[in-house]
């Protein structure tokens, strides 16, 4: 820490480089930001339209943001998507730091996403992953679209965990959630120039989000009233997350009473497919803070490039290679204490759904590996595979992975 002479006004913040929007054009934001970090170092100041942002790309600085100074960076920046689709920032992920967020986070940890609750959904994971194994056995040895199978299975699991059954309009709801994810990246012109309302009209994002919000709201109202009808008819709760939230609403006694809007906002959190977030979820600086010798002003958006950190040659040997055994002898884990590997973030705003997320991945993946050998279709070489990614707030392959399963273990 550089000592500051007394009685001088705070130093203007100076960072090694000021980047602008055009530095992000051409490639996906996490890749463009990784390239910039490669040239300019692990802390970069970006002026993105009206938004001041700092991009962090090293484990040490990520640790400072999410551990040492976690409280100073415990809030989230404003995002049009969270305002419109997230019921005006009442979903946990984008709620500003404060009493409301604390209450909802506590409820999510104790009631919705606790280890006990996650365990109670074991039969759902068992049934749905077994369905996929059986379907794949029937298709074998023809090539199968693995991406599509896993995507559908994860969604069915999420729906059953959240609302107890496959939803009537599941395909429509999934399509809407996809649209939300691609609008939540925070790089739309409407998010970069929040005070230029005219630009919001030009970008069309507000109108698009209003329509999505209307459709999602209508579907969730339908799902909630089905649950209430079932209860009125004397059926016992199924123990899905919606049942838990309706019970909490009835019990009352909370500083911020639970309303249907809270329930819908949280359902949208739980229902979204949540694959790794390359830039995590952004934080925002609550008070001026010093990071790596630089003053970060209040309200600066802080982006942590977890994608870049995960392939940093200073942390990982042969970083681009898939070598799962590298973890068997290592103390590094993903639970928010090893800052080289932070897919769930860390600190106060760390993902509360980590146990559920991992449980939903582990059993299905273990089964698919246990029961089948997987090979590329004939004529396709590993180097031919197109691993191009697409970006919203979450990362996924642009093209599906197609593999040929051959049955290895039957039971």
* Interacting residues with ligand HEM (CB under 6 A): 66, 92-93, 105, 108, 113, 269-270, 274, 276-277, 280-281, 343-346, 349-353, 356-357
Are 185 and 392 in contact, with CB atoms under 8 Å apart?
Answer: yes
| Closer Cβ to ligand HEM, 160 or 349, answer by number | 349
Closest approach, Cβ 367 to ligand HEM, in A, equals 17
| Closer Cβ to ligand HEM, 208 or 247, answer by number | 247
CA distance 243 to 231: 10
Closest approach, Cβ 346 to ligand HEM, in A, equals 6
| Closer Cβ to ligand HEM, 280 or 403, answer by number | 280
Are 297 and 52 in contact, with CB atoms under 8 Å apart?
Answer: yes
Q: Select from 284, 282, 279, 281 the least CA-distant residue to 73.
A: 284
CA distance 275 to 190: 25
To the question of whether residue 351 is assigned a binding role by annotation, the answer is yes
| Closer Cβ to ligand HEM, 114 or 288, answer by number | 114
At CA 257, angle to CA 254 and CA 259, rounded to 5?
150
Two structure tokens written together for 397: 């392959």
| Closer Cβ to ligand HEM, 136 or 155, answer by number | 155
Are 400 and 390 in contact, with CB atoms under 8 Å apart?
Answer: no
| Closer Cβ to ligand HEM, 98 or 222, answer by number | 98
Closest approach, Cβ 359 to ligand HEM, in A, equals 9
Are 159 and 170 in contact, with CB atoms under 8 Å apart?
Answer: yes
* Residues making up the chain, counted from first to last: 411
| Closer Cβ to ligand HEM, 248 or 404, answer by number | 248
CA distance 206 to 212: 10
Closest approach, Cβ 349 to ligand HEM, in A, equals 4
Closest approach, Cβ 394 to ligand HEM, in A, equals 8
Question: DSSP labels for 41-98?
Answer: -SEEEEEETTEEEEEE-SHHHHHIIIIITGGGG-B----HHHHHTTTTTTSGGGSPTT
The 3-state secondary structure of 284-345 reads: ECCCCEEECCEEECCCCEEEECHHHHCCCCCCCCCCCCCCHHHHCCCCCCCCCCCCCCCCCC
Closest approach, Cβ 263 to ligand HEM, in A, equals 14
Closest approach, Cβ 131 to ligand HEM, in A, equals 20
Integer CA distances (angstroms), 158 to 145, 162, 165, 211, 408, in order: 20, 6, 9, 24, 28
Binding-site members for heme are 351
């Amino acid at each position: 820490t550089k000592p500051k002479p007394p009685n001088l006004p705070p130093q203007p913040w100076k960072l090694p480089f000021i980047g602008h929007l055009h530095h992000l054009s051409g490639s996906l934001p996490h890749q463009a930001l990784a390239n910039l970090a490669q040239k300019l170092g692990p802390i970069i100041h970006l002026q993105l339209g009206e938004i001041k942002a700092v991009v962090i790309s090293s484990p040490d600085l990520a640790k400072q943001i999410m551990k040492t100074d976690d409280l100073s960076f415990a809030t989230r920046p404003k995002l049009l998507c969270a305002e419109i689709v997230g019921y005006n920032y009442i979903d946990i992920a984008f709620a500003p730091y404060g009493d409301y967020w604390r209450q909802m986070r506590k409820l999510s940890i104790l009631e919705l996403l606790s280890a006990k609750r996650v365990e109670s959904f074991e039969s759902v994971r068992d049934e749905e992953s077994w369905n996929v194994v059986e379907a794949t056995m029937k298709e074998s040895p023809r090539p199968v679209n693995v991406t599509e199978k896993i995507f559908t299975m994860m969604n069915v699991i999420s729906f059953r965990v959240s609302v107890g059954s496959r939803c009537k309009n599941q395909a429509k709801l999934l399509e809407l959630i996809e649209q939300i994810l691609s609008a939540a990246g925070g790089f739309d012109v409407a998010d970069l120039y929040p005070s230029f309302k005219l630009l919001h009209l030009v970008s069309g994002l507000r109108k698009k989000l209003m329509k999505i919000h209307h459709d999602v709201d209508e579907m969730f109202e339908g799902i909630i009233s089905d649950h209430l009808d079932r209860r009125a008819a004397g059926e016992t709760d199924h123990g899905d997350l919606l049942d838990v939230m309706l019970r909490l609403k009835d019990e009352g006694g909370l500083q911020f009473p639970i309303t249907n809007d809270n329930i819908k906002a949280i359902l949208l959190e739980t229902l979204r497919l949540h694959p790794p977030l390359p830039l995590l979820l952004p934080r925002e600086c609550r008070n001026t803070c010093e990071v790596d010798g630089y003053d970060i002003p209040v309200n600066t958006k802080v982006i942590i490039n977890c994608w870049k950190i995960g392939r940093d040659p200073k942390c990982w040997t042969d970083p681009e290679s898939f070598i799962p055994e590298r973890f068997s002898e290592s103390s590094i884990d993903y639970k928010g204490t090893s800052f080289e590997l932070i897919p769930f973030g860390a600190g106060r705003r760390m993902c509360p759904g980590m146990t559920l997320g991992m449980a939903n991945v582990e059993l299905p993946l273990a089964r698919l590996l246990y029961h089948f050998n997987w090979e590329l279709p004939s004529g396709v070489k590993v180097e031919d595979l197109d691993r191009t990614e697409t970006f919203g707030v979450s990362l996924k392959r642009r093209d599906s992975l197609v593999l040929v399963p051959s049955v290895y273990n039957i039971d």
